[in-house]
């Protein structure tokens, strides 16, 4: 379980996030939604340890109750774009995290290659990112994230660049992969359908300064919720978000 306590972010003398506290359980998906500019991505980047130096930050991150410094091996980040290196094969891209963690290249490649079939990427090992479709690229990026065996995964709008059909397929696919390899996920998204469809909990942020204004447990199992529940939930979220918009 990841716990963030009293996170405050300042930049250019402006307070972007103020006293934000949240909890991401060790399994299931927690969605973080909010209006543009409320600081969702900044919170995620802080957790990933990649916030630019221009930000002044205060706050504590606890993993299973113990304070940790960031970046941390237990937290794995996937940026908005798939960020696959075009000069590396899909297998080399997927093995990158393991290599950086200190695993010899040969062993890292062997580990990721074994996962290509369950991730629907069989036969793509020696291909380059430009040869893959958008959905397959996201799967490869997700394989790179999952294979690092971290406790929690930080996803920054991972499906935003995909078309509607591929996005729905990828959401189902993500749930299926997480049921094979359970771990906690913090998903930043703008899409209310995505948040209500696949998340177990939804955290709603407000802007100026960024803070959590609501925490909603989504009833039922992801993928098995009735349209009535989802519609009610979306309406609640819409009301909360519109109240924050001037």
Which one, 15 or 127, has the nearer CB to another protein?
A: 127
CA distances from 175 to 57, 151, 155, 171, 209 (A): 33, 16, 13, 6, 32
CB 50 within 8 A of CB 71: yes
> Residue 163 Cβ, how far from another protein at the closest point, in Å?
21
> Residue 49 Cβ, how far from another protein at the closest point, in Å?
6
Q: Alpha-carbon distance 95 to 105, whole Å?
A: 8
Supply the DSSP symbol for 158: T
> Residue 80 Cβ, how far from another protein at the closest point, in Å?
7
Which one, 186 or 218, has the nearer CB to another protein?
A: 186
CB 13 within 8 A of CB 170: no
Which one, 128 or 173, has the nearer CB to another protein?
A: 128
> Residue 157 Cβ, how far from another protein at the closest point, in Å?
12
Which one, 141 or 241, has the nearer CB to another protein?
A: 141
Q: Alpha-carbon distance 246 to 103, whole Å?
A: 51
> Residue 84 Cβ, how far from another protein at the closest point, in Å?
9
Which one, 49 or 134, has the nearer CB to another protein?
A: 49
The residues of the shown chain that bind another protein, judged by CB under 8 A, are: 45, 48-50, 71, 73, 75-81, 83, 85-88, 96-97, 100-101, 128-131, 148, 154
Q: Alpha-carbon distance 219 to 136, whole Å?
A: 31
């Amino acid at each position: 379980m990841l716990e963030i306590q009293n996170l405050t972010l300042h930049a250019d003398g402006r307070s972007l996030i103020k006293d934000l506290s949240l909890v991401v359980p060790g399994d299931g998906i927690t969605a973080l939604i909010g209006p543009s500019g409320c600081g969702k991505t900044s919170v995620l980047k802080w957790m990933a340890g990649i916030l630019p130096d221009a930000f002044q930050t205060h706050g504590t991150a606890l993993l299973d109750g113990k304070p940790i410094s960031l970046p941390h091996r237990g937290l794995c980040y996937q940026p908005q774009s798939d960020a696959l290196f075009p000069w590396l094969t899909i297998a080399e891209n997927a093995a990158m995290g393991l290599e950086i963690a200190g695993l010899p290249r040969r062993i890292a490649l062997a580990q990721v290659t074994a996962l290509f079939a369950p991730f629907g990427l069989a036969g793509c090992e020696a291909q380059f990112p430009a040869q893959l479709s958008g959905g397959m690229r996201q799967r490869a990026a997700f394989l790179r994230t999952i294979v690092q065996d971290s406790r929690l995964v930080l996803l920054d709008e991972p499906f935003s660049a995909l078309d509607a059909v591929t996005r729905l397929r990828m959401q189902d696919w993500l749930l299926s992969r997480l049921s094979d390899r359970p771990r906690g996920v913090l998903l930043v998204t703008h899409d209310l359908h995505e948040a209500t469809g696949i998340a177990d909990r939804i955290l709603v942020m407000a802007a100026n300064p960024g803070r959590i204004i609501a925490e909603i447990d989504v009833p039922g199992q992801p993928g098995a919720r009735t349209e009535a529940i989802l519609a009610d939930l979306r309406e609640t979220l819409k009301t909360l978000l519109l109240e924050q918009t001037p």
